[in-house]
Amino acid sequence: MSAEYPLFALSEEHQEIRKAIREICDAKIAPAAAAVDEEARYPQEAHDALVETEFFAPHVPEAYGGVGADALATVLVIEEVARADVSASLIPAVNKLGSLPVQIGGSEELKKKYLGKLAAGEGNFSYCLSEPDAGSDAANQKTRAVRDGDGWVLNGVKRWITNAGVSEYYTVLAMTDPEKRSKGISAFVVEKSDEGVSFGAPEKKLGIKGSPTREVYFDNVRIPADRIIGEEGKGFTYAMQTLDHTRITIAAQAVGVAQGALDYALEYIKERKQFGKPIAEFQGLEFMVADMGMKIEAARQLTYAAAGRSERGDKDLTFFGAAAKAFASDVAMQVTTDAVQLLGGYGFTRDYPVERMMRDAKITQIYEGTNQVQRIVMARQLLAGIQS
C-alpha cells in the first residue's frame, strides 16, 4: 500500500534524476566551486559537464530537441547543482528563464529554431527585462523597438543581466507602444552576434561570482520581423508568466545551497572537538542543526508543491511561485549564516565553503523579484481569492 501512495514522495524516475545529477556535481562541479568564486570566472567545467549529460537546459520539450524534463525534475537538477555551486546552477536556471517566453508565446518556427539550439548546447539563453529604471517596476520599460520596413530596430540599455556576454541568445522586452505602459511592451529574440549588441563590464558582486552579470546595450539593433515573440503588446504578460514558473527555480537554488551548508556543517561539528568532546554533542548546537534541517525541509516541500503547480499550470501557480521563492530564499540566508556560526572562526574564512554559500544565498532574496515584490504578488492573489 505504501508504495502506491505517492503524496509527498518522489517518483522512482525523479529519484534517479537526483542521483545522476548529484554524481555529476560531486565529480565535476563541486571540486571547482572555490576556484570559480575566488577567480570570479564562468564555471566552464560545469557548463561542459551539463551540456554533455543533457542537464544544460533540461526543461526543453522533446518536440524541440530537448529531454523534456518536467518542472519538478528541472527543480531537482537546479537544487543539486546549487548544493555544489550556486554560480553553476544559474546555467540551467537562466536557460529556462531566458527561453521560457519563447516556449510560452513564440511561433512554431521560433521555438524550433531557438529551443533546438539551446537543447543542443549551442548557446545559453538570457532574459533581458530589468533596466536602470525598471527593477521592481518592471513595466517602466525605456528600451524601444520600432518597426522599420520588414523588421524591428531596438535601442536601449538592460541591467543586471545574468550570463550576459556568455549567452548567445537573449529574450529582450522592449516598448513598442509607450502610451500603453504594460500593454505596449513586446518581446523579441536577439542574438549576441546581431550588429549593435554590446556588453558592460562584469559587475563586482558579493556572491555568485562565477555567473557574469552585465549591462547589455542595444544600439540600432536591426532584427527580422519573425524574431518577435508571439503577439505585439503581449511581452509583459509573457515575462510575468515566465517568472511564475521560474521563481520556483530560485527556490530550488535556495534549498540546494542551504542543504550544501548544512551537510558541510554536520560533518564539521562531528569532527571538531572542544572541552574534550565533539561539539555536535553540545545541545545548543544540536538545536541549531535541528532548526536548519526543519526549515530546509519545509522550504523543499513548498518548492516541490510549487513545481507541481507549474507542471499542471494550476490557477494558484502565481501564489505558489512567489511563496516558494520568498520562503526558501529566507531559509537559505538563515541556514547558511548559521552554518558559518557552527564553524566559528573557520567558517568566516575562505578556507571553508560556508562563507561562499552565505554570500551566494543572499542573491536568492533579491533576483527574479525581491522578496518584498513576492509579498505584493502573494497579497494580490489572496485578495483576488486565488489560492487553493
Return the residue of 189, 353, 369, 378 that touches ligand CAA, per CB under 6 A. 369
Looking up cell 537573449 gives 170
Name residues contacting ligand CAA, limited to 180-199 (CB under 6 A). 182
Q: At what angle do helices 71-84 and 86-105 cross, to 10 degrees?
A: 160
Is 231 a catalytic site residue?
A: no
In the complex, minimum distance from the CB of residue 266 to ligand CAA, in angstroms, rounded to a whole number = 30
Return the residue of 186, 237, 310, 336 that touches ligand CAA, per CB under 6 A. 237
Q: Could you tell me which residues are beta bridge partners of residue 188?
A: 172, 228
Q: Could you tell me which residues are beta bridge partners of residue 169?
A: 125, 191
Question: Which residue's CB is nearer to ligand CAA, number 18 or number 183?
Answer: 183
- Strand 185-191 relative to strand 144-148: parallel, antiparallel, unpaired? unpaired
In the complex, minimum distance from the CB of residue 288 to ligand CAA, in angstroms, rounded to a whole number = 31
Within 10 Å of residue 336's Cβ, how many Cβ atoms? 30
Q: Does 241 bind ligand CAA (CB under 6 A)?
A: yes
Q: CB of 296 within 8 A of CB of 302?
A: no
- Residue 79's H or E segment, with its range, is helix 71-84
Q: Does 127 bind ligand CAA (CB under 6 A)?
A: yes
Calculate the dihedral angle through the C-alpha atoms of 225, 231, 235, 237, rounding to the nearest 10 degrees: -170
Contact stretch for ligand CAA (CB under 6 A) within 100-108, 219-227, 237-245, 333-341: 237-245
Shortest-Cβ-distance residue relative to ligand CAA: 369
Return the residue of 9, 146, 376, 382 that touches ligand CAA, per CB under 6 A. 376
Q: Site for ligand CAA (CB under 6 A): how many residues?
A: 24
In the complex, minimum distance from the CB of residue 236 to ligand CAA, in angstroms, rounded to a whole number = 5
Q: CB of 233 within 8 A of CB of 147?
A: no
Return the residue of 89, 318, 329, 365 that touches ligand CAA, per CB under 6 A. 318
Q: Does 139 bind ligand CAA (CB under 6 A)?
A: yes
**Helix (H, G, I), strand (E, B), or coil: what is residue 228?**
strand
> Which phi and psi (to 5°) does residue 139 adopt?
-75, -10
Question: Which residue's CB is nearer to ligand CAA, number 236 or number 304?
Answer: 236
Cell numbers representing residue 226 in the block: 519573425
From CA 283, how far away is CA 67, in angstroms rounded? 47
Cell numbers representing residue 87 in the block: 554560480
Give the x-and-dash track for 79-108 against ligand CAA (CB under 6 A).
---------------x--x-----------
Q: Does 74 bind ligand CAA (CB under 6 A)?
A: no
Note the residues at the interface with ligand CAA (CB under 6 A): 94, 97, 127, 129-130, 136, 138-139, 160, 162, 182, 236-237, 240-241, 243-244, 318, 367-369, 373, 376-377
Residues classed as catalytic:
368
